[in-house]
Amino acid sequence: MDQAQQQLAVRLMRSREAGGGDNRVARNVIMLMGDGLSITTLTAARILKGQHAGCSGEEAQLAVEQFPYSGLCKTYCTDSQTADSACAATACLTGIKTNYGSIGQSAQGVKVESILDWAQHADKATGIVTTTRLTDASPASGYAHVQRRSQELDIARQLIEDAPGRHLDVILGGGLGKFASERSDGRDLLKQWRASNPDGCFASTLSELRNCGATNGSLFGVFSDNHMAYHLAASKDQPRLRDMTEAAIQRLEQQPQGYFVFIEGGRIDHGHHETRAGYALDEMLELDAAIEVAVHLTNPNETLIIVTADHSHTLSMAGYANRGTAILGLDPSQRDLDGIPYSTLNYAIGKWQSLNKAGKRENPAPHLSKTSFTPSYIHARGVHSGEDVAVFALGPQSHLFSGVMEQNLLPHLMAYAACVGHGATICEPSP
């Protein structure tokens, strides 16, 4: 915490020396996270977006490319060179780095507050939106405190019974089983939530979510027993991330003191773990659409929007493919030393090596599709990678998010802009 405050002070000094004069306070803060959103994923998704529009693709733009400031975050954990979502999201939401697999506590096991707590103490509305289970590592880092991310039944209990979870105004995502059918302690957490929120609205489908728009109470939506389905495999009555983003912002805008909301495109990571780049890129485009909704529904003079990732993945984009080559395919002119074509996208580690029965690499082209495995080098389940991830910022104090920074600095910067938390803020520069 002290190190992050010192890093904030250095950024403020540099901003003053450069003549920076942004005096705007962020009434609202929206943090959008692409789980596993590596820089290669951003580039490949941009090309796919353009190719969906009938263009060659490379010249397309993602929503974040309109943001005026960007930087890089260092994602390592206290005990791990490469992060998992638990320690990385804890850094993004609580302001401290912690051990691999830990949520909402320090490396010594001390519980820490999150920016959701800070916002609630300032009488702001708060919300969590995700396409994963609500008890998965990234969303849980905003409200839970556990040594191991696998303790999801206790995480679900904390969401409903403990602060800050029980005070959330919006909760949207998947993982219904953790609240009811998978429990052995006799608790029906959905029933508890309804009892605690008599004016609230519960939704399990897109149509029910839309019907909740007429209510002023808390909003709780759980749209699947496990993670929400990939967009490419989802039914029409499963809300898309942009639908949940719109519902969340419209509900939170009712709070005169403003709000903080965490919105996660969580299944980018799952597509990468399966080493199916088509799923990962499509989930990134779902996040892109949600970012567009957030920008459209808010005023950039009073809403700070941050887009980042928790960690990276081993996807690479290699070779010298011709302009307009299908990003999920290959340019047949790009071949290895044996004359075998290789795909533009590959993973360092993954499930499919495109080998024939003799163990020799073969042309992957006949097997490539938007849902197929993507070729990889080492045979194993897809894993994270440890390089820096991008951060993009729009709105009040967004200039502070440029350059290279420790990942746990992010919530301190957001708190500074929104005048919440226990450190320096634009309202009170000297805590």
166 located within any domain: yes
- Tell me what pLDDT residue 129 has: 99
41 located within any domain: yes
- Tell me what pLDDT residue 201 has: 98
Q: Where are the alpha helices (DSSP H) in 232-381?
A: 241-252, 267-273, 277-297
Structure tokens at 75: 């994602």
Cα torsion angle, 393, 96, 256, 191, sign: positive
Same domain? For 254 and 226 the reply is: yes
Positions at the binding site = 35, 136, 138, 264, 269, 273, 310-311, 384
**Domains identified in the chain, total number:** 2
- Tell me what pLDDT residue 430 has: 61
Positions at the binding site for Mg(2+) = 35, 136, 138, 264
Read off the CATH number of the domain in which 119 is found. Answer: 3.40.720.10
- Tell me what pLDDT residue 19 has: 80
DSSP per-residue letters across 378-413:
EESS--EE-S-EEEEEESTTGGGG-EEEEGGGHHHH
Same domain? For 204 and 342 the reply is: no
Q: Pick the catalytic residue: 56, 70, 80, 85?
A: 85
- The rounded distance, in Å, linking the Cα atoms of 380 and 356 is 18
**What element of type H or E holds 349?**
strand 345-350
Q: Where are the alpha helices (DSSP H) in 125-205?
A: 137-140, 152-161, 189-196
| Pairing, β 259-265 against β 28-34 | parallel
425 located within any domain: no
Buried b / exposed e along 283-309 (16+ C-beta atoms within 10 A): bbbbbbbbbbbbbeebeeeebbbbbbb
Q: Are 353 and 311 in contact (CB under 8 A)?
A: no
Average pLDDT by stretches of 10, the chain with 431 residues: 97 89 95 98 98 98 98 98 98 98 98 98 98 98 98 98 98 98 96 97 98 91 98 97 98 97 98 98 98 98 98 98 98 98 98 97 97 98 98 98 98 98 90 48
Same domain? For 338 and 399 the reply is: no
Which structural domain, as residue segments, surrounds residue 214? 25-314+386-418
370 located within any domain: yes
- The rounded distance, in Å, linking the Cα atoms of 187 and 153 is 10
Concerning whether 106 is annotated as a catalytic residue, the answer is no
Its pTM surpasses 0.85:
yes
- Tell me what pLDDT residue 18 has: 86
Same domain? For 41 and 124 the reply is: yes
